[in-house]
Structure 1
Amino acid sequence: MALIQCDFYSETLGLSTSMNVILPQQTVTQIGMDSTAGTGKFPVLYLLHGLSDDHTIWLRRTSIERYAAAYGIAIVMPAVHRSFYTDMKHGYNYWTFVSEELPAIARSFFPLSDRREDNFVAGLSMGGYGAFKLGLRCPDRYAAAASLSGAMDMNHFYTHFKTEFERIFGTKDTFTGSQDDLFALAAQLAKSDAKRPALYQCCGTEDFLYEDNVKFRDYLRQHQIDVTYEEEPGEHEWGYWDMKIKRVLEWLPLARRT
């Protein structure tokens, strides 16, 4: 695997930002790595960070590079600060950045596939919210979306971080039912004829977001949206996410490549 630490300028944000990228590499003699890389452009997983983290955190806290090596998949990890992957009411347009500009820039720099069946998104906590927002709001672009201990119900965030919530989303009334509300997006997808992405959701039973995850799982099922849901003992911590990101890679509907 090749690791690229990429600093670049974002026209959408009007500032310089960063992403870390892991690219497949076919190796034979590398000790301790089962590496594969097919021909052509690589399938890609956009891997999103949580509220207090940045683009380096998945590499620092998990073995994502080692796990991804056997699948021949590229991993793109962007920095979005505390934006909730949203065009902020008072701040920067991080939704436009992550949904439009980031994939275009990443494909211009690296040999990444633009085919829907080769594009996936996953994240933890705030990143789980971002992953499901991308999957539900842009079902024509992503074959699968995975949330690990995701912030599914923004009532929790509003209760504990009201000022920050309003800086990002505006008032609670304007948020509810908007294109930033996962429940509204799920209901919208249920009524549409769009091809639905595969969804994976997990949360530890001791996680403070557990009840919110169960609520959203049930909402998806009530709207006849299929979701692979898993729970087991676990808290909001990296030991759990390291285990589950490995599971996500196993679950992804990766097309067979030569």
Structure 2
Amino acid sequence: MARMTCEFFSDVLTKHTTMTVILPDRPNKDKAGLEKRFPTLYLLHGFSDDHSMWTRQTSVERYANERGLAVVMPDVDHSFYTDMRYGKKYWTFLTEEVPRIARYFFPLSDRREDNFVAGLSMGGYGAFKWLLNKPEQFAAGAALSGVLDLANHNQEDNAENPMDQVVFNAFGGEKLVGTMHDIFHLAKVVDQMEGKKPKLYLACGKEDFLFDHNLRFKQLTDQLSLDIETTFDSGEHEWSYWDRHIERVIKWLPIQ
């Protein structure tokens, strides 16, 4: 694999920013031996992380190389993957600018069948938010220990609690239930859609403080027809759990 730190100017953020990109070390070829663009996983970081943490804390590079998969890891600060009320437009940056720039710089496929998204914690929320708002862009997506029930979080401008302050900065106290920020609402909307629907992978440790979020989401999807694989095993909110499951996710992806 080749691992690169890509520094570039974002028109959306009006600032320079960074993403880590992993590319396979062999060409992607079709049955006729012609080179194709790489299937791509957009891999999203958690609340306390940045674009580098997946490669620093897991063996994602090795797992991706085994499947000939490119991985794009953007930096979105504490945005909760949204166009922040008091901050930058990270939703537009993530969903529009990052794929366009990454495909301009690197040989990445733009075919729905070749594109996937995953993330942990805040990034698990971001992954399902992107997947379910734009199911026409992805064949599959995964949330590991995701903050999935953010819509029911009581937003407060509480300077003593960094999490509450960040959520307030992102959404400005807006009621999230039933909106594009509500993962549970989005799952029901996608379930009723016609046409192709993405596959989902959900994993959370039973000792994780976000386990209830994930359990409630499973209880919802048990009532829907979405294609979802769920694993609730032993584990806390930590990197050894996510390393184990990102390997499983990459093996699970329907790479053609």
TM-score, normalisation: structure 2: 0.92
| Residue identity matched to 2:172 | G
CA contact (8 A) 1:47 1:123 kept: yes
In the alignment, which residue of structure 1 is the partner of 2:173? Answer: 171
How far has the Cα of 1:108 moved from its partner?
A: 0.2
Q: Pairwise mapping of residues 1-258 of structure 1 onto structure 2 (< 5 A)?
A: 1-26=1-26, 37-38=28-29, 39-154=35-150, 155-156=152-153, 158=155, 161-173=163-175, 175-255=176-256
CA contact (8 A) 2:140 2:253 kept: yes
Report the number of matched residues: 245
Unaligned runs of 5+ in 2: 30-34
| Residue identity matched to 2:245 | K
Q: 2:191, 2:250 → 1: CA distance?
A: 26
CA contact (8 A) 2:46 2:121 kept: yes
| Residue identity matched to 1:77 | M
Provide the secondary structure at the position in 2 that maps to 1:133: helix
| Residue identity matched to 1:42 | F
TM-score, normalisation: structure 1: 0.91
CA contact (8 A) 2:78 2:166 kept: no
How far has the Cα of 1:189 moved from its partner?
A: 1.2
How far has the Cα of 1:66 moved from its partner?
A: 1.1
List per-residue Cα deviations over 1:98-120 (Å, max 9, x = no partner): 10110000000000000000000
In the alignment, which residue of structure 2 is the partner of 1:29? Answer: none
Q: CA RMSD in A?
A: 1.5
Residue identity over aligned pairs, in percent, reads 51
How far has the Cα of 1:59 moved from its partner?
A: 0.7
Provide the secondary structure at the position in 2 that maps to 1:186: helix
Q: 1:164, 1:81 → 2: CA distance?
A: 10
Q: 2:74, 2:154 → 1: CA distance?
A: 22
